[in-house]
Structure 1
Amino acid sequence: MRCPFCAHDDSQVKDSRPTEDNTSIRRRRQCESCGARFTTFERVQLREIVVIKSGGKREPFERSKIEQSVALACRKRSIEQERIDQLVSGIQRQVETIGEAEIASARIGEMVMDGLRQLDSVAYIRFASVYRDFGEARDFEEFASAIQEAGVRDAASDS
């Protein structure tokens, strides 16, 4: 593993342990050249999955893109990082277990929307505003009203 500080190619693993949700291995490493310590995470990748963008362009699936989008939607919200990581891991598992080599980006977007709807309504609206390309304040109002109505219906059906 290349050192992020001095770019030396060799590092030594000092400690390995599973993450709390058991979806990856956390490794503490030390560079053999400069002595700096850093952490890496190792995850299982079942197969290469290709994402088909709305314009037809194809690119490899990248977990980091989902992490960035979800983190941005959840920014300045009181949501524990562990819950965000669990959401991203769950979406990644869904994508990998679908059994298809290709998946539409819109389908991944809907998975993120579903997860954020359950996690935090403000993060859900933030993500939706970008994902659904809100252009005016009215778009936010209509979307928030739809969420509020759905919440009222869900609460009524629970009783």
Structure 2
Amino acid sequence: MRCPYCGHEDSQVKDSRPTEDAAAIRRRRQCEACGARFTTFERIQLREVTITKADGRREAFDRDKLMRSVKIACRKRPIDENRIERLVSGIQRQLETSGESEAAAHQIGGMVMEALKGVDNVAYIRFASVYRDFTEARDFEEFASTIAAAVQKKP
């Protein structure tokens, strides 16, 4: 593993343990050249998934890109980092085990919205504003009113 500080090719694993959701192995490493310590994560990848964008472009599924978009929606909300990690891991697992090698971007957006709905209404609305391309304040009002109505119907 290449050292992120000095670029040296060799590092020594000092500690390995599974993550909380057991979806990855967390490894603490130490560079043999400069002595710096850093963490790496090893994840199982069942299959390569290609994402088809609305404009027809295709790109490889990028877990980090999905994580960034979910974190942006959850910014400054009382949501535990581990919960976000589990949400993203769950979506990735669904994609990899679906049996399909391609997925539409809108399908992933729908999966994220469904997951965020159960986590935090504000994060849900934030993500929906980008995913559904809200252009006016009225779009927010209409969407928020559907959430408020759904919350009031619950016993």
Deviations 1:102-126 (A, max 9, x none): 0001000000000000000000000
Aligned-pair Cα RMSD in Å: 0.7
Deviations 1:44-99 (A, max 9, x none): 00111100011111100111111000000000001110111110111111111111
**What does residue 26 of structure 1 align with?**
26
Tell me how far apart the structure 2 counterparts of residues 152 and 42 of structure 1 sit (CA, whole Å). Answer: 43
TM-score by length of 2: 0.98
What pairs with 1:45-84 in structure 2 (closer than 5 Å)?
Answer: 45-84=45-84
Tell me how far apart the structure 1 counterparts of residues 135 and 9 of structure 2 sit (CA, whole Å). Answer: 47
Segments ≥4 residues shifted beyond 4 Å:
none
Gaps of 5+ in 1: none
* Alpha-carbon distance, 1:151 to partner: 1.8
Letter of the aligned partner of 2:135 in structure 1? Answer: G
Tell me how far apart the structure 2 counterparts of residues 130 and 9 of structure 1 sit (CA, whole Å). Answer: 40
The number of residue pairs the alignment matches comes to 155
- The reply on whether 1:144 has 2:137 as its aligned counterpart is no
* Alpha-carbon distance, 1:150 to partner: 1.6
Gaps of 5+ in 2: none
**What does residue 102 of structure 1 align with?**
102
* Alpha-carbon distance, 1:152 to partner: 2.0
Letter of the aligned partner of 1:56 in structure 2? Answer: G
